[in-house]
Chain A
Amino acid sequence: MRGSAAHASIDAVWRLEAARIIAGLARMVHDIGLAEELAQDALVAALEQWPESGVPDNPGAWLMAVGKRRAIDRIRRERRFEHKLAEMGRDLETRPAAEFDVPDDEHIEDDVLRLIFTACHPVLSVQARVALTLRMLGGLTTEEIAHAFLVSEPTVAQRIVRAKRTLSEAGVPFEVPEGPGRAARLSSVLEVVYLIFNEGYAASGGGDWVRADLCQEALRLGRILAELAPGEPEVHGLAALMEIQASRTRARTGPSGEPVPLMEQDRGRWDRLLIRRGFAALLRAKAIGEPPGPYVLQAAIAACHAQAPTAEDTDWAQIASLYAVLASVAPSPVVELNRAVAVGMAHGPDKGLALADALVDEPSLRGYHLLPSVRGDLLARLGQLDEARTQFERAAELTRNAPERKILLERAASLRRPAQ
């Protein structure tokens, strides 16, 4: 087999199998950092051997077997060391060898879920959780992560090393938390996945394919989670939200890379398969029968848009009431601003403007171009053209996206009163 073909295969196998192998080894060594190193050793062995010997029939099992062997060596070495320290060694020889937890196919999925929860542990910074998750669950290289997040490779490498050390030192157990702590830990996981998605979604407008790939990574993680934790409505909510948002990818940028607002998108370019998957995930969330959390509510809002055959058919009253619930479940200025838009559409621009005006002194929205842009739109609909123009000009100053700035300035210019 030609070397480069073997390398392409190894790369693909690694991407498909990394999470399962690392998770299985973590069950043995109770340390995801060490498990990842052992899995990397197995990968190195594959890179050395497969170009010569050919890719084995079951490459995942091959990698796992090598990893297991290294893990057992490691455990034995450490035990010998411990025994020497204790100046014992009497029962060392008689100890059964297979006393550690060995991963098996039946339980590997549980181990993968443990791996996700551990990599997203709140003891780590959000950046560290993102890097660890992409590395361990997605099988991405440090270089790929650095490229996707526009930071240097050493920075990412450092982040990963530190994160592994932090987990080790904090003695974070390799488990899926149960009981009262579970909800907070789950939202830490979902936050990481959605952050990865948004990083890619925000970038995909720029035509930067490496970053847009992050959307795919996040979607895949979301789909995995939905299979591994099917009893959690928010997991399905996040999956639904990402599926429906991803369905608009092709419609949300114009020919020269300018963002196309939701209401102006060509709905024929929305991906029906992803919309259908999104609806199915949302139904699964609802079937669990708990009060909706923030992801389920956001997905329900996205579903309202996806359901409308044309922009004019949008059920704004429904969207406004969903935003009202969202604002009570997970209040934030951005949610409030979106609610202002929905209320403005459903119940009149004056009602929307009242909500938007209340946000003017909100410190976290200072510098956020969508606040003046929304206010400009509502003011224009109320016929207050001068104020509206000032708001669009302000929004144009604030946005960092050049095509969007152009659109905002055009809107501002269109609001000039005709010469008397």
Chain B
Amino acid sequence: MRFMMMTTDNGPDDAPPDEKLQAEMGKFIEEMARAGVLLATGGLEPYGTRITSSSGKITVTDGPFAEAKEGVVGFALIEVRSREEAIELSKRFWSIVGDGTGVIKQVFGPEDPFPGQ
């Protein structure tokens, strides 16, 4: 089963990432790769570009957005055997990172039928 583990942010934060934390994260990512569970990972720019389609009109707006809340700031795409395994890995992640919020969502992969099928 594939899961997208995402860390969300509660608002603009321009503080540079802590070096020690970066190193520990690097180690954790390496560990996940060595355990054969990590498919892809990455960090996301804080604001990005917003695209809205409404009644055939497409609007493109560049960030920052004053009202931005809970944007996704990083992700890891993993392949594990159960949701519980994803949760265990996520617990380990948060024990390194400290305070914060994340979301775990199953990603439908080649072995899963399309939802609704």
Whether, in the assembled complex, B14 has its beta carbon less than 8 Å from a beta carbon of chain A, the answer is: no
Whether, in the assembled complex, A15 has its beta carbon less than 8 Å from a beta carbon of chain B, the answer is: yes
CA distance A159 to B81 in the complex (A): 25
Whether, in the assembled complex, A277 has its beta carbon less than 8 Å from a beta carbon of chain B, the answer is: yes
Query: CB distance B79 to A220 under 8 Å?
Result: yes
Query: CB distance B85 to A221 under 8 Å?
Result: no
Query: CB distance B36 to A9 under 8 Å?
Result: no
Binds B, one of A75-83, A175-183, A246-254, A316-324: A246-254
Residues of chain B within 8 A of A216, CB atoms compared: 79, 81, 111
Query: CB distance A16 to B35 under 8 Å?
Result: yes
Query: CB distance B84 to A8 under 8 Å?
Result: yes
Cβ contacts A1-37/B at 8 Å (1 or 0 each): 0000000110111011000000000000000000000
User: Which A residue's beta carbon lies closest to that of B81?
Assistant: A15
Tally of A-B Cβ pairs under 8 angstroms: 68
Interface residues of B in 1-51 (CB under 8 A from A): 33-37, 39-40
A220-B111 contact in complex given A16-B85, A58-B95, C-beta closer than 8 Å: no
From A13, A15, A57, give the contact of B95 (CB < 8 A).
Answer: A57
CA distance A269 to B113 in the complex (A): 11
User: Which B residue's beta carbon lies closest to that of A246?
Assistant: B110
Whether, in the assembled complex, A299 has its beta carbon less than 8 Å from a beta carbon of chain B, the answer is: no
CA distance A221 to B36 in the complex (A): 7
Query: CB distance B39 to A277 under 8 Å?
Result: yes
Q: Give min CB distance, A116 to chain B, whole Å.
A: 12
Query: CB distance B84 to A9 under 8 Å?
Result: yes
Query: CB distance B35 to A224 under 8 Å?
Result: yes
From A8, A11, A58, A223, give the contact of B36 (CB < 8 A).
Answer: A223
Whether, in the assembled complex, A102 has its beta carbon less than 8 Å from a beta carbon of chain B, the answer is: no
Contact residues of B: prevailing secondary structure = mixed
A273-B88 contact in complex given A57-B95, A212-B111, A216-B81, C-beta closer than 8 Å: no
Whether, in the assembled complex, A294 has its beta carbon less than 8 Å from a beta carbon of chain B, the answer is: no
Interface residues of A in 215-249 (CB under 8 A from B): 215-216, 219-224, 227-228, 246-249
CA distance A274 to B39 in the complex (A): 9
Query: CB distance B110 to A274 under 8 Å?
Result: yes
Whether, in the assembled complex, B87 has its beta carbon less than 8 Å from a beta carbon of chain A, the answer is: yes
Whether, in the assembled complex, A258 has its beta carbon less than 8 Å from a beta carbon of chain B, the answer is: no
Query: CB distance B84 to A273 under 8 Å?
Result: no
Interface residues of A in 138-162 (CB under 8 A from B): none
From A16, A57, A224, A271, give the contact of B110 (CB < 8 A).
Answer: A271
Residues of chain A within 8 A of B111, CB atoms compared: 204, 212, 215-216, 246, 249-250
Whether, in the assembled complex, A213 has its beta carbon less than 8 Å from a beta carbon of chain B, the answer is: yes
Query: CB distance A273 to B39 under 8 Å?
Result: yes
CA distance A216 to B110 in the complex (A): 11
Q: Give min CB distance, A247 to chain B, whole Å.
A: 6
Whether, in the assembled complex, A109 has its beta carbon less than 8 Å from a beta carbon of chain B, the answer is: yes
Query: CB distance A247 to B88 under 8 Å?
Result: no
CA distance A12 to B35 in the complex (A): 13
- Which are the 7 A-B pairs with shortest beta-carbon distances? A12-B84, A223-B36, A220-B36, A249-B110, A224-B36, A271-B110, A227-B34
Query: Which A residues have a C-beta under 8 Å from some C-beta of B?
Result: 8-9, 11-13, 15-16, 57-59, 109, 204, 212-213, 215-216, 219-224, 227-228, 246-250, 269-271, 273-274, 277
Beyond A9-B84, A12-B85, list 4 extra A-B contacts (CB 8 Å). A9-B87, A12-B87, A213-B81, A248-B110
Pick 19 A–B contacts, CB within 8 A, sort by A.
A9-B88, A11-B82, A12-B84, A12-B87, A13-B88, A15-B81, A16-B80, A16-B85, A16-B88, A57-B95, A59-B88, A213-B81, A216-B111, A223-B36, A223-B37, A248-B110, A249-B110, A271-B110, A273-B39
